[in-house]
Chain A
Amino acid sequence: MNLNRRSVFRVVVASVVLVFAQSLGVVLIARFHLMQHLLAPGAGSLVAVFVALAFLLLRILVIVLLPGLLAASALVTVGRTRRPIPGS
Protein backbone atom coordinates (compact mmCIF):
# COMPACT_ATOMS: atom_id res chain seq x y z
CA MET A 1 0.00 0.00 0.00
CA ASN A 2 2.81 2.38 0.92
CA LEU A 3 4.46 1.72 -2.43
CA ASN A 4 1.22 2.57 -4.26
CA ARG A 5 0.70 5.74 -2.28
CA ARG A 6 4.27 6.74 -2.95
CA SER A 7 3.97 6.17 -6.70
CA VAL A 8 0.69 8.11 -6.83
CA PHE A 9 2.33 10.90 -4.86
CA ARG A 10 5.29 10.92 -7.25
CA VAL A 11 3.05 11.18 -10.31
CA VAL A 12 0.96 13.97 -8.79
CA VAL A 13 4.03 15.96 -7.67
CA ALA A 14 5.68 15.57 -11.08
CA SER A 15 2.49 16.75 -12.78
CA VAL A 16 2.12 19.76 -10.50
CA VAL A 17 5.78 20.70 -11.09
CA LEU A 18 5.36 20.42 -14.87
CA VAL A 19 2.16 22.49 -14.86
CA PHE A 20 3.76 25.11 -12.61
CA ALA A 21 6.91 25.24 -14.78
CA GLN A 22 4.77 25.68 -17.89
CA SER A 23 2.72 28.47 -16.29
CA LEU A 24 5.85 30.24 -15.08
CA GLY A 25 7.36 29.72 -18.53
CA VAL A 26 4.42 31.51 -20.18
CA VAL A 27 5.04 34.57 -18.00
CA LEU A 28 8.81 34.60 -18.61
CA ILE A 29 8.57 33.84 -22.33
CA ALA A 30 6.03 36.67 -22.76
CA ARG A 31 8.09 39.05 -20.61
CA PHE A 32 11.34 38.52 -22.52
CA HIS A 33 9.78 38.11 -26.00
CA LEU A 34 11.64 34.87 -26.64
CA MET A 35 9.15 32.99 -28.79
CA GLN A 36 9.07 35.43 -31.67
CA HIS A 37 12.63 34.29 -32.44
CA LEU A 38 11.07 30.98 -33.56
CA LEU A 39 9.13 32.71 -36.33
CA ALA A 40 11.96 34.93 -37.54
CA PRO A 41 15.33 33.85 -36.18
CA GLY A 42 18.14 36.35 -36.60
CA ALA A 43 21.88 36.36 -36.00
CA GLY A 44 21.59 36.57 -32.19
CA SER A 45 18.67 34.21 -31.84
CA LEU A 46 20.40 30.92 -31.06
CA VAL A 47 19.85 30.91 -27.28
CA ALA A 48 16.33 32.34 -27.58
CA VAL A 49 15.38 29.71 -30.17
CA PHE A 50 16.74 26.94 -27.94
CA VAL A 51 14.85 28.23 -24.87
CA ALA A 52 11.66 28.81 -26.85
CA LEU A 53 11.79 25.32 -28.38
CA ALA A 54 12.36 23.76 -24.96
CA PHE A 55 9.40 25.72 -23.59
CA LEU A 56 7.22 24.71 -26.53
CA LEU A 57 8.05 21.03 -25.98
CA LEU A 58 7.20 21.43 -22.29
CA ARG A 59 3.89 23.10 -23.20
CA ILE A 60 2.99 20.31 -25.63
CA LEU A 61 3.92 17.72 -22.99
CA VAL A 62 1.75 19.41 -20.35
CA ILE A 63 -1.28 20.16 -22.52
CA VAL A 64 -1.33 17.24 -24.94
CA LEU A 65 0.34 14.31 -23.22
CA LEU A 66 0.06 14.87 -19.47
CA PRO A 67 -3.73 14.34 -19.13
CA GLY A 68 -3.49 10.93 -20.81
CA LEU A 69 -0.39 9.98 -18.83
CA LEU A 70 -2.12 10.92 -15.58
CA ALA A 71 -5.22 8.92 -16.45
CA ALA A 72 -3.22 5.88 -17.52
CA SER A 73 -0.97 5.93 -14.46
CA ALA A 74 -4.02 6.37 -12.21
CA LEU A 75 -5.57 3.28 -13.78
CA VAL A 76 -2.40 1.25 -13.31
CA THR A 77 -2.19 2.37 -9.68
CA VAL A 78 -5.83 1.56 -9.01
CA GLY A 79 -5.32 -1.89 -10.49
CA ARG A 80 -2.35 -2.49 -8.24
CA THR A 81 -4.32 -1.33 -5.20
CA ARG A 82 -7.06 -3.83 -5.97
CA ARG A 83 -4.66 -6.76 -6.35
CA PRO A 84 -5.72 -9.39 -3.79
CA ILE A 85 -3.20 -10.16 -1.07
CA PRO A 86 -1.76 -13.65 -1.69
CA GLY A 87 -3.14 -16.22 0.79
CA SER A 88 -5.98 -13.99 1.96
Chain B
Amino acid sequence: MVTHWAAFLTTGWLRRGVAVVLFIAVTAIVPRWWCAREGERWFAGDRALSLGLSRTVADNIKSGVTTADFTSNSSLFRHEWQFGTYQMGALGLLQVCHLYPERSPELMPAVDQAIDRLLSHEVRDFDGKQWGQDPLDAIEGDRGHTAYLGYLNLALAVHRRCVANSRFANLNDRISAALVRRFQANPARAIETYPGESYPVDIAAGLGSLLLWTGANDEQRACIASALEHYRTDWRDPRTGLLYQAIDTRDGKPLDAARASGTALAAYFLSFGGRDVARRLYESLRTYTAGSVLGFGYVSEYPSGAKPGKGDIDSGPLCFGISPSASGFMLGTARIMRDRDTFVALSRSLYLVGTPARRGDRYEYAMGGPLGNSIMLAMLTADREVP
Protein backbone atom coordinates (compact mmCIF):
# COMPACT_ATOMS: atom_id res chain seq x y z
CA MET B 1 0.00 0.00 0.00
CA VAL B 2 2.79 2.38 0.98
CA THR B 3 4.67 1.50 -2.20
CA HIS B 4 1.54 2.17 -4.21
CA TRP B 5 1.16 5.66 -2.72
CA ALA B 6 4.84 6.37 -3.13
CA ALA B 7 4.63 5.46 -6.80
CA PHE B 8 1.58 7.64 -7.16
CA LEU B 9 3.32 10.62 -5.59
CA THR B 10 6.38 10.27 -7.77
CA THR B 11 4.30 11.07 -10.83
CA GLY B 12 5.06 14.79 -11.34
CA TRP B 13 1.74 16.24 -12.40
CA LEU B 14 -0.23 14.05 -10.01
CA ARG B 15 2.03 15.09 -7.16
CA ARG B 16 1.42 18.74 -7.98
CA GLY B 17 -2.31 18.16 -8.23
CA VAL B 18 -2.42 16.48 -4.83
CA ALA B 19 -0.28 19.30 -3.42
CA VAL B 20 -2.81 21.89 -4.65
CA VAL B 21 -5.68 19.90 -3.12
CA LEU B 22 -3.74 19.59 0.13
CA PHE B 23 -3.04 23.34 0.12
CA ILE B 24 -6.75 24.09 -0.31
CA ALA B 25 -7.77 21.58 2.37
CA VAL B 26 -5.25 22.82 4.93
CA THR B 27 -6.13 26.46 4.17
CA ALA B 28 -9.81 25.67 4.68
CA ILE B 29 -9.25 23.88 7.99
CA VAL B 30 -6.21 25.16 9.91
CA PRO B 31 -6.76 28.97 9.93
CA ARG B 32 -10.43 28.40 10.71
CA TRP B 33 -9.48 26.30 13.74
CA TRP B 34 -6.55 28.47 14.85
CA CYS B 35 -8.42 31.77 14.73
CA ALA B 36 -11.49 30.37 16.50
CA ARG B 37 -9.69 29.36 19.69
CA GLU B 38 -10.09 32.69 21.46
CA GLY B 39 -13.59 33.23 20.07
CA GLU B 40 -14.72 29.99 21.72
CA ARG B 41 -13.20 31.21 24.98
CA TRP B 42 -14.86 34.63 24.72
CA PHE B 43 -18.19 32.99 24.01
CA ALA B 44 -17.80 30.83 27.11
CA GLY B 45 -17.01 33.94 29.20
CA ASP B 46 -13.33 33.18 29.70
CA ARG B 47 -12.11 34.85 32.86
CA ALA B 48 -8.48 35.40 31.83
CA LEU B 49 -9.41 37.08 28.53
CA SER B 50 -12.15 39.21 30.13
CA LEU B 51 -9.89 40.42 32.92
CA GLY B 52 -6.93 40.92 30.56
CA LEU B 53 -8.90 43.23 28.26
CA SER B 54 -10.56 44.88 31.27
CA ARG B 55 -7.15 45.80 32.67
CA THR B 56 -6.10 47.37 29.38
CA VAL B 57 -9.31 49.42 29.25
CA ALA B 58 -8.96 50.37 32.93
CA ASP B 59 -5.35 51.47 32.27
CA ASN B 60 -6.51 53.64 29.36
CA ILE B 61 -9.16 55.26 31.54
CA LYS B 62 -6.84 55.81 34.49
CA SER B 63 -4.11 57.35 32.35
CA GLY B 64 -6.70 59.56 30.64
CA VAL B 65 -7.76 59.55 27.01
CA THR B 66 -7.35 62.76 25.06
CA THR B 67 -8.36 63.81 21.57
CA ALA B 68 -4.69 63.49 20.60
CA ASP B 69 -5.09 59.70 20.96
CA PHE B 70 -7.27 59.65 17.83
CA THR B 71 -6.26 60.00 14.22
CA SER B 72 -9.32 61.52 12.54
CA ASN B 73 -9.01 64.99 11.02
CA SER B 74 -12.38 66.00 12.44
CA SER B 75 -12.29 67.66 15.85
CA LEU B 76 -15.92 66.65 16.47
CA PHE B 77 -15.21 62.96 15.78
CA ARG B 78 -12.08 62.99 17.95
CA HIS B 79 -14.15 64.41 20.83
CA GLU B 80 -16.97 61.94 20.20
CA TRP B 81 -14.45 59.07 20.29
CA GLN B 82 -12.96 60.37 23.52
CA PHE B 83 -16.50 60.36 24.96
CA GLY B 84 -17.18 56.92 23.46
CA THR B 85 -13.99 55.46 24.94
CA TYR B 86 -15.11 56.33 28.46
CA GLN B 87 -18.75 55.36 27.89
CA MET B 88 -18.06 51.97 26.28
CA GLY B 89 -15.22 51.38 28.73
CA ALA B 90 -17.58 51.98 31.67
CA LEU B 91 -20.20 49.64 30.17
CA GLY B 92 -17.67 46.91 29.46
CA LEU B 93 -16.08 47.12 32.89
CA LEU B 94 -19.50 47.06 34.57
CA GLN B 95 -20.38 43.93 32.60
CA VAL B 96 -17.14 42.28 33.77
CA CYS B 97 -17.83 43.36 37.38
CA HIS B 98 -21.26 41.76 37.01
CA LEU B 99 -19.70 38.53 35.71
CA TYR B 100 -16.90 38.49 38.28
CA PRO B 101 -18.07 40.44 41.33
CA GLU B 102 -14.91 39.52 43.23
CA ARG B 103 -12.91 41.70 40.75
CA SER B 104 -15.03 44.79 41.49
CA PRO B 105 -12.51 46.28 43.95
CA GLU B 106 -9.92 46.21 41.17
CA LEU B 107 -12.11 47.44 38.29
CA MET B 108 -14.78 49.65 39.84
CA PRO B 109 -12.46 52.63 40.49
CA ALA B 110 -11.85 52.81 36.73
CA VAL B 111 -15.63 52.71 36.13
CA ASP B 112 -16.16 55.63 38.51
CA GLN B 113 -13.28 57.48 36.91
CA ALA B 114 -14.73 56.89 33.43
CA ILE B 115 -18.12 58.27 34.48
CA ASP B 116 -16.49 61.24 36.19
CA ARG B 117 -14.63 61.91 32.95
CA LEU B 118 -17.90 61.63 30.99
CA LEU B 119 -19.30 64.32 33.26
CA SER B 120 -16.26 66.60 32.93
CA HIS B 121 -16.41 69.85 30.99
CA GLU B 122 -13.58 68.70 28.73
CA VAL B 123 -15.43 65.59 27.56
CA ARG B 124 -18.96 66.98 27.32
CA ASP B 125 -17.92 70.17 25.56
CA PHE B 126 -18.28 68.63 22.06
CA ASP B 127 -22.03 68.43 22.58
CA GLY B 128 -22.23 71.89 24.11
CA LYS B 129 -20.45 73.39 21.10
CA GLN B 130 -22.95 71.86 18.68
CA TRP B 131 -25.93 73.14 20.67
CA GLY B 132 -24.47 76.37 22.01
CA GLN B 133 -25.47 75.20 25.46
CA ASP B 134 -23.91 72.85 27.97
CA PRO B 135 -25.79 69.51 27.98
CA LEU B 136 -25.97 69.24 31.77
CA ASP B 137 -27.25 72.83 32.05
CA ALA B 138 -29.91 71.91 29.48
CA ILE B 139 -31.28 68.88 31.33
CA GLU B 140 -34.44 70.67 32.43
CA GLY B 141 -35.30 71.59 28.84
CA ASP B 142 -37.27 69.43 26.44
CA ARG B 143 -35.06 69.40 23.38
CA GLY B 144 -31.79 67.94 22.19
CA HIS B 145 -28.48 66.63 23.55
CA THR B 146 -29.85 63.13 23.00
CA ALA B 147 -26.55 61.45 22.21
CA TYR B 148 -24.64 62.88 25.14
CA LEU B 149 -27.46 62.42 27.63
CA GLY B 150 -28.52 59.03 26.24
CA TYR B 151 -25.09 57.40 26.11
CA LEU B 152 -24.17 58.86 29.50
CA ASN B 153 -27.45 57.75 31.03
CA LEU B 154 -26.97 54.17 29.85
CA ALA B 155 -23.67 54.01 31.73
CA LEU B 156 -25.33 55.56 34.79
CA ALA B 157 -28.27 53.13 34.64
CA VAL B 158 -26.01 50.09 34.41
CA HIS B 159 -23.83 51.47 37.21
CA ARG B 160 -26.94 51.80 39.34
CA ARG B 161 -27.82 48.15 38.64
CA CYS B 162 -24.35 46.99 39.67
CA VAL B 163 -23.64 49.24 42.64
CA ALA B 164 -25.93 49.49 45.64
CA ASN B 165 -26.45 53.14 46.58
CA SER B 166 -24.81 54.35 43.37
CA ARG B 167 -23.67 57.94 43.75
CA PHE B 168 -25.03 58.55 40.25
CA ALA B 169 -28.62 57.52 41.13
CA ASN B 170 -29.94 61.06 41.43
CA LEU B 171 -28.36 62.16 38.15
CA ASN B 172 -29.71 58.99 36.49
CA ASP B 173 -33.22 59.93 37.63
CA ARG B 174 -32.85 63.51 36.38
CA ILE B 175 -31.50 62.53 32.96
CA SER B 176 -34.10 59.76 32.58
CA ALA B 177 -36.90 62.23 33.25
CA ALA B 178 -35.25 64.68 30.83
CA LEU B 179 -35.09 62.07 28.06
CA VAL B 180 -38.74 61.12 28.55
CA ARG B 181 -39.65 64.81 28.42
CA ARG B 182 -37.85 65.08 25.07
CA PHE B 183 -39.72 62.04 23.72
CA GLN B 184 -43.01 63.55 24.90
CA ALA B 185 -42.22 66.86 23.21
CA ASN B 186 -41.54 65.21 19.84
CA PRO B 187 -44.58 63.33 18.46
CA ALA B 188 -42.34 61.40 16.04
CA ARG B 189 -40.08 60.45 19.00
CA ALA B 190 -37.15 61.37 16.74
CA ILE B 191 -35.26 63.28 19.41
CA GLU B 192 -32.14 65.11 18.32
CA THR B 193 -28.44 64.34 18.66
CA TYR B 194 -27.44 67.72 17.28
CA PRO B 195 -29.76 70.50 16.06
CA GLY B 196 -31.90 69.07 13.26
CA GLU B 197 -30.11 65.68 13.32
CA SER B 198 -31.75 62.50 14.59
CA TYR B 199 -30.19 59.06 14.55
CA PRO B 200 -32.02 55.92 15.68
CA VAL B 201 -28.82 54.45 17.11
CA ASP B 202 -28.28 57.46 19.40
CA ILE B 203 -31.92 57.42 20.42
CA ALA B 204 -31.52 53.70 21.19
CA ALA B 205 -28.79 54.47 23.73
CA GLY B 206 -31.17 56.75 25.63
CA LEU B 207 -34.05 54.34 25.23
CA GLY B 208 -31.89 51.48 26.52
CA SER B 209 -31.19 53.53 29.64
CA LEU B 210 -34.92 54.23 30.09
CA LEU B 211 -35.77 50.53 29.80
CA LEU B 212 -33.58 50.01 32.88
CA TRP B 213 -35.11 52.96 34.75
CA THR B 214 -37.41 51.82 37.52
CA GLY B 215 -38.54 55.30 38.57
CA ALA B 216 -40.92 55.95 35.62
CA ASN B 217 -44.61 56.63 36.27
CA ASP B 218 -47.39 55.20 34.07
CA GLU B 219 -47.39 58.13 31.66
CA GLN B 220 -43.62 57.99 31.28
CA ARG B 221 -43.72 54.21 30.78
CA ALA B 222 -46.30 54.62 28.00
CA CYS B 223 -44.08 57.17 26.29
CA ILE B 224 -41.04 54.87 26.53
CA ALA B 225 -43.09 51.99 25.07
CA SER B 226 -44.30 54.15 22.19
CA ALA B 227 -40.73 55.20 21.37
CA LEU B 228 -39.63 51.56 21.44
CA GLU B 229 -42.42 50.71 19.01
CA HIS B 230 -40.67 52.72 16.29
CA TYR B 231 -37.85 50.14 16.39
CA ARG B 232 -40.41 47.48 15.48
CA THR B 233 -42.09 49.48 12.73
CA ASP B 234 -41.35 52.68 10.84
CA TRP B 235 -37.66 53.24 11.64
CA ARG B 236 -36.90 49.91 9.97
CA ASP B 237 -36.57 49.23 6.27
CA PRO B 238 -39.68 47.18 5.34
CA ARG B 239 -37.69 44.73 3.19
CA THR B 240 -34.71 43.98 5.43
CA GLY B 241 -35.78 45.19 8.87
CA LEU B 242 -32.52 47.12 9.27
CA LEU B 243 -32.69 50.53 10.94
CA TYR B 244 -32.39 53.67 8.90
CA GLN B 245 -29.14 55.38 9.79
CA ALA B 246 -30.69 58.86 9.99
CA ILE B 247 -34.27 60.08 10.24
CA ASP B 248 -36.08 63.39 9.96
CA THR B 249 -36.45 65.12 13.30
CA ARG B 250 -39.93 66.39 12.45
CA ASP B 251 -41.66 63.26 11.20
CA GLY B 252 -39.24 60.35 11.66
CA LYS B 253 -39.07 59.65 7.92
CA PRO B 254 -35.79 58.11 6.66
CA LEU B 255 -32.99 60.43 5.54
CA ASP B 256 -30.33 57.77 5.01
CA ALA B 257 -30.24 54.13 3.93
CA ALA B 258 -30.94 51.20 6.22
CA ARG B 259 -27.48 50.18 7.39
CA ALA B 260 -25.79 47.58 9.51
CA SER B 261 -23.53 49.69 11.75
CA GLY B 262 -26.39 51.65 13.32
CA THR B 263 -28.62 48.58 13.53
CA ALA B 264 -25.97 46.44 15.24
CA LEU B 265 -25.13 49.04 17.90
CA ALA B 266 -28.80 49.86 18.48
CA ALA B 267 -29.54 46.14 18.97
CA TYR B 268 -26.88 46.05 21.70
CA PHE B 269 -28.27 49.17 23.42
CA LEU B 270 -31.86 47.92 23.23
CA SER B 271 -30.89 44.52 24.63
CA PHE B 272 -30.83 46.32 28.01
CA GLY B 273 -34.50 45.71 28.65
CA GLY B 274 -35.80 45.46 25.09
CA ARG B 275 -34.68 41.94 24.23
CA ASP B 276 -37.54 41.26 21.81
CA VAL B 277 -36.75 44.31 19.67
CA ALA B 278 -33.02 43.58 19.85
CA ARG B 279 -33.67 40.05 18.61
CA ARG B 280 -35.69 41.31 15.63
CA LEU B 281 -32.89 43.68 14.65
CA TYR B 282 -30.35 40.91 15.12
CA GLU B 283 -32.29 38.54 12.86
CA SER B 284 -32.39 41.21 10.16
CA LEU B 285 -28.64 41.71 10.45
CA ARG B 286 -27.97 38.00 10.28
CA THR B 287 -30.24 37.46 7.30
CA TYR B 288 -29.26 40.42 5.13
CA THR B 289 -25.76 41.53 6.09
CA ALA B 290 -23.80 38.68 7.69
CA GLY B 291 -21.62 36.30 5.73
CA SER B 292 -18.38 34.37 5.94
CA VAL B 293 -15.42 33.28 3.83
CA LEU B 294 -13.55 30.16 4.96
CA GLY B 295 -15.33 30.51 8.29
CA PHE B 296 -14.22 34.15 8.77
CA GLY B 297 -17.37 36.15 9.48
CA TYR B 298 -18.15 39.65 8.35
CA VAL B 299 -21.05 42.12 8.27
CA SER B 300 -21.73 44.22 5.17
CA GLU B 301 -22.76 47.81 5.82
CA TYR B 302 -25.48 47.71 3.17
CA PRO B 303 -27.90 44.75 2.97
CA SER B 304 -27.84 42.23 0.15
CA GLY B 305 -29.97 43.42 -2.75
CA ALA B 306 -29.57 47.11 -1.84
CA LYS B 307 -27.59 49.72 -3.71
CA PRO B 308 -24.11 49.74 -2.14
CA GLY B 309 -22.97 53.01 -0.61
CA LYS B 310 -19.62 54.45 0.36
CA GLY B 311 -20.05 54.20 4.12
CA ASP B 312 -18.90 56.91 6.48
CA ILE B 313 -17.35 57.48 9.87
CA ASP B 314 -20.01 55.28 11.49
CA SER B 315 -19.27 52.23 9.34
CA GLY B 316 -15.50 52.69 9.18
CA PRO B 317 -13.67 52.29 5.87
CA LEU B 318 -15.50 49.73 3.76
CA CYS B 319 -13.50 46.96 2.07
CA PHE B 320 -15.66 45.00 -0.41
CA GLY B 321 -18.63 46.56 1.41
CA ILE B 322 -17.62 45.01 4.76
CA SER B 323 -18.09 47.28 7.75
CA PRO B 324 -15.53 47.00 10.56
CA SER B 325 -17.91 48.79 12.95
CA ALA B 326 -20.92 46.61 12.20
CA SER B 327 -18.81 43.44 12.39
CA GLY B 328 -17.52 44.48 15.82
CA PHE B 329 -20.91 45.59 17.17
CA MET B 330 -22.61 42.41 16.00
CA LEU B 331 -20.32 40.33 18.21
CA GLY B 332 -22.10 41.79 21.23
CA THR B 333 -25.60 40.97 20.09
CA ALA B 334 -24.55 37.53 18.81
CA ARG B 335 -23.28 36.75 22.31
CA ILE B 336 -26.44 38.10 23.94
CA MET B 337 -28.58 36.01 21.57
CA ARG B 338 -26.43 32.94 22.24
CA ASP B 339 -25.70 32.57 18.51
CA ARG B 340 -22.45 30.68 18.88
CA ASP B 341 -21.78 30.07 15.17
CA THR B 342 -22.10 33.73 14.20
CA PHE B 343 -20.12 34.87 17.23
CA VAL B 344 -17.24 32.48 16.57
CA ALA B 345 -17.19 33.30 12.84
CA LEU B 346 -16.95 37.03 13.58
CA SER B 347 -14.36 36.42 16.29
CA ARG B 348 -12.12 34.62 13.75
CA SER B 349 -11.99 37.83 11.72
CA LEU B 350 -11.42 39.82 14.89
CA TYR B 351 -8.46 37.59 15.74
CA LEU B 352 -7.02 37.82 12.22
CA VAL B 353 -7.45 41.55 11.63
CA GLY B 354 -7.82 42.98 15.14
CA THR B 355 -4.44 41.51 16.09
CA PRO B 356 -4.64 40.57 19.77
CA ALA B 357 -1.51 41.26 21.79
CA ARG B 358 -0.55 40.33 25.35
CA ARG B 359 1.59 42.27 27.78
CA GLY B 360 1.82 40.45 31.09
CA ASP B 361 -1.72 40.09 32.41
CA ARG B 362 -2.98 42.69 29.91
CA TYR B 363 -4.72 41.81 26.65
CA GLU B 364 -5.53 44.23 23.86
CA TYR B 365 -6.41 44.52 20.20
CA ALA B 366 -3.62 46.35 18.42
CA MET B 367 -5.96 47.64 15.73
CA GLY B 368 -8.44 49.05 18.19
CA GLY B 369 -6.73 51.89 20.00
CA PRO B 370 -8.46 53.18 23.14
CA LEU B 371 -11.94 53.37 21.59
CA GLY B 372 -11.70 50.03 19.81
CA ASN B 373 -10.59 48.23 22.95
CA SER B 374 -13.38 49.81 25.02
CA ILE B 375 -15.94 48.78 22.38
CA MET B 376 -14.56 45.26 22.11
CA LEU B 377 -14.67 44.82 25.89
CA ALA B 378 -18.33 45.87 25.89
CA MET B 379 -19.18 43.58 22.96
CA LEU B 380 -17.17 40.51 23.96
CA THR B 381 -18.57 40.54 27.50
CA ALA B 382 -22.15 41.48 26.58
CA ASP B 383 -24.40 39.06 28.33
CA ARG B 384 -27.95 37.78 28.34
CA GLU B 385 -28.05 38.59 32.04
CA VAL B 386 -28.37 42.36 32.08
CA PRO B 387 -26.35 43.81 34.94
Contact = CB atoms under 8 A, between A and B. Distances in A.
B9 A78 contact: yes
Contacts of A38: 317, 367
A19 interface: no
A41 B71 contact: yes
B254 interface: no
Contacts of A83: 10
A84 B357 CA distance: 48
Interface in B1-22: 6, 9-10, 15-16, 18-20, 22
Contact of B369 (A36, A45, A60, A73): A36
Given A42-B73, A75-B22, A76-B16, A30 B364 contact: yes
Contact of B27 (A52, A65, A73, A84): A65
Q: Mostly helix, strand, loop or mixed at chain B's interface?
A: helix
A30 B35 contact: no
B366 A72 contact: no
A68 B72 contact: no
Interface string B40-77: 00000000000000000000000000000011110001
Contact of A30 (B22, B73, B357): B357
Contacts, number: 106
A48 B369 CA distance: 13
B71 A42 contact: yes
A27 B355 CA distance: 10
A3 interface: no
B308 to A, nearest CB: 20
Contacts of B372: 36, 39
Contacts of B31: 63-64, 67
Contacts of A65: 27
Interface in A18-34: 26-27, 29-30, 33-34
Given A72-B23, A79-B15, A56 B368 contact: no
A38 to B, nearest CB: 7
A63 B367 contact: no
B164 interface: no
A39 B317 CA distance: 6
Contacts of A36: 70-71, 367-369, 372
A64 B352 contact: yes
A59 B30 CA distance: 14
A25 B213 CA distance: 46
Contact of A82 (B9, B30, B353, B364): B9
Nearest to A82: B6
Contacts of B35: 63
A45 B71 contact: yes
A29 B19 contact: no
Given A37-B71, A39-B324, A79-B15, A71 B23 contact: yes
A39 B10 contact: no
A69 interface: yes
Contacts of A69: 23
B222 interface: no
18 contacts: A26-B366, A29-B366, A30-B359, A35-B368, A36-B70, A36-B71, A36-B367, A39-B317, A40-B316, A42-B72, A64-B31, A67-B27, A68-B30, A71-B23, A72-B22, A72-B23, A72-B26, A75-B9
Interface of B: 6, 9-10, 15-16, 18-20, 22-27, 30-31, 34-35, 70-73, 77, 81, 294, 313, 316-317, 324, 352-353, 355, 357, 359, 364, 366-369, 372
